[in-house]
Amino acid sequence: MEPIDPSKAYRLLESGPIVLVTTAQDGKPNVMTMGFHMVMRHSPPLIGCVIGAWDHSHKALVATRECVIAIPGADLARKVVDIGNCSGDDADKFARFRLTAQPAREVAAPLIGECLANIECRIVDDSLAGKYDLFILEPVAISLNRTRRERRTLHHNGDGTFCVDGRVIDLRERMILWKQFQVAL
Ligand SMILES: Cc1cc2nc3c(=O)[nH]c(=O)nc-3n(C[C@H](O)[C@H](O)[C@H](O)COP(=O)(O)O)c2cc1C
């Protein structure tokens, strides 16, 4: 085993898929790229997200307490990186990246028409936002887009390189303690 710096843990653990986060403040929609997220609980469903204080999205999320987590397919890879390399402070990213903002059901932040899925979320706990930029979100609605031809998602290695979904290994018959989670999307 070769030792590496503990600060590199995210390079090994940063889970996918890379996602886009939309917000809308004062009627202005915005979108950012996010890799630092994790599912935390099944019921009620909870998702932890790190959205840095330097991001326009952070201010919009704090002000509105809601957002949409959109899952892009691999066909959007270049846009995903570019969206995470500019700020809504300076640009209308929906126009710049030709994204289709669609009305959400439960929140003011828009869905992204080009994404595979859109998860509408509300903040349930921001007690660690000041310390770690960590927001605990509860999904309140999900919309799936089954029309996209590209179904593979992107998984960030933390350095601008990405893995693309590969072969599915089906081990459901061994999930003897967790049969309740074997439900189709
Ligand atoms: C691949 C990738 C992953 C990123 N992951 C995160 C993240 O998890 N959290 C975060 O705060 N910023 C992350 N960023 C940076 C934001 O997307 C970036 O600061 C963006 O410009 C913020 O946009 P905004 O100012 O319009 O909110 C990531 C950027 C890229 C390219």
User: What are the extents of the domains in the chain?
Assistant: 6-181
Q: Which CATH number fits domain 6-181: 3.40.50.720, 3.10.350.10, 1.10.10.10, 2.30.110.10?
A: 2.30.110.10
Q: How far is CA 118 from CA 70, 141, 157, in A?
A: 4, 8, 23
Residue 21 DSSP symbol: E
Write the pLDDT tens digit of every residue in 108-163.
Answer: 999 999 999 999 999 999 999 999 999 999 999 999 999 999 999 999 999 999 99
| pTM tops 0.85 | yes
Q: Which residue has the higher pLDDT, 147 or 181?
A: 147
Structure tokens at 25: 């403040």
162 lines ligand 1 (CB under 6 A): no
For residue 136, which of 60, 59, 41 has the smallest C-alpha distance?
41
Q: CA-based angle 146:27:51, to the nearest 5?
A: 70
Ligand 1 atom at minimum distance from 84 CA: 17
Q: CA-based angle 141:142:144, to the nearest 5?
A: 155
Average pLDDT of 161-179? 93
Ligand 1 atom at minimum distance from 162 CA: 1
The answer to whether the beta carbons of residues 136 and 47 sit under 8 Å apart is: yes
**pLDDT, position 15:** 67
The answer to whether the beta carbons of residues 108 and 140 sit under 8 Å apart is: no
29 lines ligand 1 (CB under 6 A): no
57 lines ligand 1 (CB under 6 A): yes
